Structure 1
Amino acid sequence: MKICIVGGVAGGASAATRLRRLSEDADIVLFEKGDYISYANCGLPYYIGGAIQEKDALLVTKPDLLRNRFRIDVRTENEVLAIHRAEKELQVKNLRTGEVYTESYDKLILSPGAEPKRPPLPGIDLDGVFTLRTVTDMERIDAYLKGRSASRAVVVGGGFIGVEMAENLQRRGLDVTIVEFADQVVASLDPEMAQILHRHLTEHGVSLRLKTGLAGIAQVDTGLQVELSDGSAIESDLVLLSIGVSPENKLAKEAGLHLGVGNSIAVSASYQTSDPNIYAVGDAIGVTHLVSGKETLVPLAGPANKQGRLAAENALGGHQAAQPVQGSSVLKAFDLTAASTGLNEKQAKALGLSYRKTYIHPQSHASYYPGATPISMKMLFDGNGAILGAQAVGYEGVEKRIDVLATAIRLHGTVYDLEELELCYAPPFSSAKDPVNMLGFTAANILKGDMPVYYAEDIPGLSPEGTTRLDVSTPAEFGMSTIPGYQNIPLDELRGRLSELDPNKPVYVTCRVGLRGYLATRILKQHGFDAYNLSGGMKTYQLARETES
């Protein structure tokens, strides 16, 4: 059997090597229009910033290895121009020689990836305007910076690549501004969680222009002038466009294959396209979201590699079903780590899901062991305790906790399971009650009614006359900051001062991060009060307020 593969990065390279491991007899041809195959495109920003100093470190597998070890016919700089489905042939152009030729196939696997969006705006093709998707893109940016005394950069788009490039361009010595049309960076986070990143980026010298779009780019005597949707302009030496990607569907569309969500290549549960002899994987296809059950786009390397493996098995006659994707992701922004899995609150609302949420702000490890740092965590769950999604931002131990939660979601665990998880504990690494356990405890308390909660967005609707609003922090903490309209009774004085509270009014409690508020709520409830605790306390309230400003 002859199997041709279009695209030699994550999904395509994984498919090619899996095919050979399953069949010594298959004739495997891998086409890649670029110079490189199987490279770590997630590492490209770190080469530009200097953390990765050797380009070869990014080349996971070189063509000669596939040729010699796996006996795969690898053809780099060969672009597939068309698929002739009736003849089961490809039209291919050798970009080095200009020769156009045909190649037959029995089965075809498409892994063309996605292409960076380039809006049709004035100046978008000027010298000094870049996207970053391939090793060649990286080399062009590096050469551009080495060839001139660039000191200013504008990054258009505050997604993963945008934030990573902002950090690495700044480490390269440039003054960096992120321009983002939305009201936050990193769309996988909810706004109040992204606010922690906003603070950190600003503290490290990155300027943020949120709620602002790109209107055009002009060449001026001093470099490039980036014109913005609010009428202002920023002068720059380099502009990086990082406003998302679109599925590369040109070949499939012109071949008459069916398209799906977001103009991606539509595939079946076995990764077959509308042509049973053609499979598709990676960033070019739509996937089913594990939590929502809806078709969506998740352009991540991990799922693409797994899809390539399964498509290879099916092309050889297997019956491996496509696995749903949950979008687990992690980002480094200077000293901070931000990670998420499953649905965020914006997505849950858009889907019309009924959900609850909890916030906690634990330490990364036992607070008595030196070096503990805070982690801010948020989890969504439904009325039965099923975990819908989670987010965390902090300095250490962030991705570890989100990985545990991602596993729990994959295995259909509940918040009650989180309470019982037995996780590794030693003072330098965690606490006896790990933050993941704490998420389970707080969520279970909410569902069982042991800790009725309210949220920062509920506060403007609280009646000043019809409620008691209580801050149980210490007087010193209360003096530094509190929510307008809240009175102070420290937690340790609460039992002796219950007579100061009106038993006919609901009591809305807060503290710094929610723990003392929980204890106060338990005291109040057992003395007959209708009491509610502010989830995440003042820390979450302040983050939410900052998103409004």
Structure 2
Amino acid sequence: MRIVIIGAVAAGTSAATEIRRNNKEAEIIVYEKDKFISYAGCGMPFFISNEVNDFSDIVPRNAEFFKEKHNIDIYTEHEVMSVNPGNKTLRVKNQLSGEIFDDSYDKLIISTGAMSVTPDLKGSDKDNVFLLRNINDMNNIRSFIEEKKPKSAVIIGSGFIGLEMCESFKYLGMDVSIIARSKIAKGIDNDMSLYIEEHLRKKGVNVYTNTKTLEINNQGVVISEGSIIKADIVLLATGIKPNVGLAKSMGIELGASGAIKVDKYMRTNLNDIYSCGDCIEMFYTINETPVYRPLGSTANKTGTIAGSNIVGKNDEFRGILGTGIFRVFDITVGMTGFSEEEAVKLGYNVSVSIDKRPNKPKYMGGKPIVIKAVSEKETGRLLGAQLIGYEGVDKRLDVLVTAITLKASAEDLMHLDLAYSPPYSIPRDPLYYTGAKLSAKK
């Protein structure tokens, strides 16, 4: 069996290694148009800030590794130009030599990932304006900083990458401004977003919310009030979209979100063609509503499922909760499931609790965690949560992820036998109080 995979970052390499794990005889060929493969994209902001100094920590594997360890042939800087599903052939261009050749497959996996959304903004092509989506972007930003030594940075967009890069630029000694078209941190409810905004200001970041960027010029970034924010370096962090051009040209069906539509086995609508990673549409575990929510952990998971099923297994993808976690200087922000805003839009009658409790006793250095949780009013079923705090946010977030996945009710949080010792928690964990508050509103 000859299996061709298009794309060799998280999902593509996960699929390839899973195929090899289950089938020692299959011929596995991977084409990747970039130079770098299987890299830790989520670690890029920390390499730019020098918190991570070793490039090999971000890009730990190359094509030779996969050939030697797994007998997988990965061809970097090879772009798949077209695919003919009728005769199972594809046309490939070697970007180094310019050679164009044809290949064939028995089964195909499309793992073309996502691309940055570039706003239609005058001046976005200037030499000091960057995206941060891949290793080339990361290297370009770091080289610019080392060479030009910028003193001021403007970040346009306030998603995960934008907020993490606030810290990175600030750590490097720059005056940092962040511009959001609406609120800080898309997907976070307004009442929780204010905590993040306040913390950014405390750390010396200039925050512009409900602000439109008009253009980038030699003086800096021009915003809606007509004022100019000085910017030696500008980062466009205005989101990403699925890279589906090739799939669309082949006749692969796209979902409501514009990403590739797959079933729970990662199969597309075309025979013997699977897809996985940041180019596919997912669905919410809670109600199976289609959603596009790309994340490295999900890409690895869907890649493994695609690889497993392509060799005859029957593994199902069980959906996502949209769980995310990121650091904003010394606080942690986490979210899972539906926000209050999303739940209401989806037609749920909700109960909401916002509670602030110490993560552990004050005599052990405890600091507050703010927990906002949403449940269905009639049944008490947990629908989502958002957390902001210092130490221990990740622990409570993962408990809530598990509870929502297992369809637990708010009341169930009061009966969990959670770990307690003064260095780690208070006798009644903050989640107990969240459960109690929501249960009282049922």
Which residue of structure 2 aligns with residue 103 of structure 1? 103
Which residue of structure 2 aligns with residue 26 of structure 1? 26
Which residue of structure 1 aligns with residue 370 of structure 2? 376
Which one of the candidate residues 235, 240, 261 is aligned to 1:240? 235
User: Could you tell me how far 1:312 is from its partner in structure 2?
Assistant: 1.0
User: Could you tell me how far 1:114 is from its partner in structure 2?
Assistant: 0.7
User: Could you tell me how far 1:230 is from its partner in structure 2?
Assistant: 3.3
Which residue of structure 2 aligns with residue 59 of structure 1? 59
How high is the TM-score relative to the length of structure 2? 0.97
Which residue of structure 1 aligns with residue 195 of structure 2? 196
| 1:72-87 pair list within 5 angstroms | 72-87=72-87
2-structure distance, mates of 1:40, 1:21? 22
Which residue of structure 1 aligns with residue 70 of structure 2? 70
2-structure distance, mates of 1:20, 1:229? 54
Question: Per the alignment, in what secondary structure is the counterpart of residue 321 of structure 2?
Answer: coil
The answer (yes or no) to whether the contact 2:254–2:260 under 8 Å persists in 1 is yes
Deviations 1:290-328 (A, max 9, x none): 124210101111111111111112212222222211011
Which residue of structure 2 aligns with residue 311 of structure 1? 306
User: Could you tell me how far 1:101 is from its partner in structure 2?
Assistant: 1.2
User: Could you tell me how far 1:289 is from its partner in structure 2?
Assistant: 0.7
Deviations 1:90-135 (A, max 9, x none): 1111112111111111111111111000122222111111100111
How high is the TM-score relative to the length of structure 1? 0.79
User: Could you tell me how far 1:364 is from its partner in structure 2?
Assistant: 0.6
User: Could you tell me how far 1:412 is from its partner in structure 2?
Assistant: 1.3
Letter aligned with residue 302 of structure 2: Q
Question: Per the alignment, in what secondary structure is the counterpart of residue 35 of structure 2?
Answer: coil
Which residue of structure 1 aligns with residue 330 of structure 2? 335
1-structure distance, mates of 2:158, 2:146? 25
User: Could you tell me how far 1:352 is from its partner in structure 2?
Assistant: 2.0
The answer (yes or no) to whether the contact 2:364–2:422 under 8 Å persists in 1 is no
Please tell me whether residue 128 in structure 1 is matched to residue 161 in structure 2. Answer: no
2-structure distance, mates of 1:57, 1:324? 30
Question: Per the alignment, in what secondary structure is the counterpart of residue 283 of structure 1?
Answer: coil
User: Could you tell me how far 1:62 is from its partner in structure 2?
Assistant: 2.6
Please tell me whether residue 350 in structure 1 is matched to residue 345 in structure 2. Answer: yes
1-structure distance, mates of 2:119, 2:157? 12
User: Could you tell me how far 1:397 is from its partner in structure 2?
Assistant: 0.5
User: Could you tell me how far 1:405 is from its partner in structure 2?
Assistant: 0.4
Letter aligned with residue 368 of structure 2: P
2-structure distance, mates of 1:229, 1:282? 36
2-structure distance, mates of 1:229, 1:319? 53
When structure 1 is superposed on structure 2, of 435-444 and 200-209 the one drifting more is 435-444
Which residue of structure 1 aligns with residue 408 of structure 2? 413
Which residue of structure 2 aligns with residue 209 of structure 1? 208
The answer (yes or no) to whether the contact 1:179–1:210 under 8 Å persists in 2 is yes
Letter aligned with residue 54 of structure 1: D
User: Could you tell me how far 1:436 is from its partner in structure 2?
Assistant: 1.4
Aligned length: 441
The answer (yes or no) to whether the contact 2:257–2:290 under 8 Å persists in 1 is no
Which residue of structure 1 aligns with residue 11 of structure 2? 11
Which residue of structure 2 aligns with residue 456 of structure 1? none
2-structure distance, mates of 1:290, 1:17? 26
Letter aligned with residue 229 of structure 1: S
Which residue of structure 1 aligns with residue 394 of structure 2? 399
Question: Per the alignment, in what secondary structure is the counterpart of residue 418 of structure 1?
Answer: helix
User: Could you tell me how far 1:23 is from its partner in structure 2?
Assistant: 0.3
Which residue of structure 1 aligns with residue 421 of structure 2? 426
Deviations 1:229-257 (A, max 9, x none): 33322221111000100100010011121
User: Could you tell me how far 1:148 is from its partner in structure 2?
Assistant: 1.0
Deviations 1:394-421 (A, max 9, x none): 1110111011000111111111221110
Question: Per the alignment, in what secondary structure is the counterpart of residue 407 of structure 2?
Answer: coil
Identity %: 36
Please tell me whether residue 287 in structure 1 is matched to residue 282 in structure 2. Answer: yes
Question: Per the alignment, in what secondary structure is the counterpart of residue 330 of structure 1?
Answer: strand
User: Could you tell me how far 1:262 is from its partner in structure 2?
Assistant: 2.4
When structure 1 is superposed on structure 2, of 316-325 and 65-74 the one drifting more is 316-325
1-structure distance, mates of 2:88, 2:208? 50
2-structure distance, mates of 1:157, 1:420? 41
When structure 1 is superposed on structure 2, of 88-97 and 375-384 the one drifting more is 88-97
The answer (yes or no) to whether the contact 2:309–2:315 under 8 Å persists in 1 is yes
Deviations 1:48-67 (A, max 9, x none): 11110111111243322211
Which one of the candidate residues 314, 323, 341 is aligned to 2:318? 323
| 1:143-162 pair list within 5 angstroms | 143-162=143-162
1-structure distance, mates of 2:60, 2:333? 25
User: Could you tell me how far 1:213 is from its partner in structure 2?
Assistant: 1.8
Letter aligned with residue 97 of structure 1: S
Letter aligned with residue 85 of structure 2: R
The answer (yes or no) to whether the contact 1:261–1:297 under 8 Å persists in 2 is no
Letter aligned with residue 188 of structure 2: L
Root mean square deviation, CA, Å: 1.2
The answer (yes or no) to whether the contact 1:313–1:320 under 8 Å persists in 2 is yes
Question: Per the alignment, in what secondary structure is the counterpart of residue 441 of structure 2?
Answer: helix
Letter aligned with residue 48 of structure 1: I
Please tell me whether residue 255 in structure 1 is matched to residue 250 in structure 2. Answer: yes
The answer (yes or no) to whether the contact 2:334–2:387 under 8 Å persists in 1 is yes
1-structure distance, mates of 2:19, 2:231? 48
Which residue of structure 2 aligns with residue 267 of structure 1? 262
| 1:509-520 pair list within 5 angstroms | none
The answer (yes or no) to whether the contact 2:121–2:214 under 8 Å persists in 1 is yes
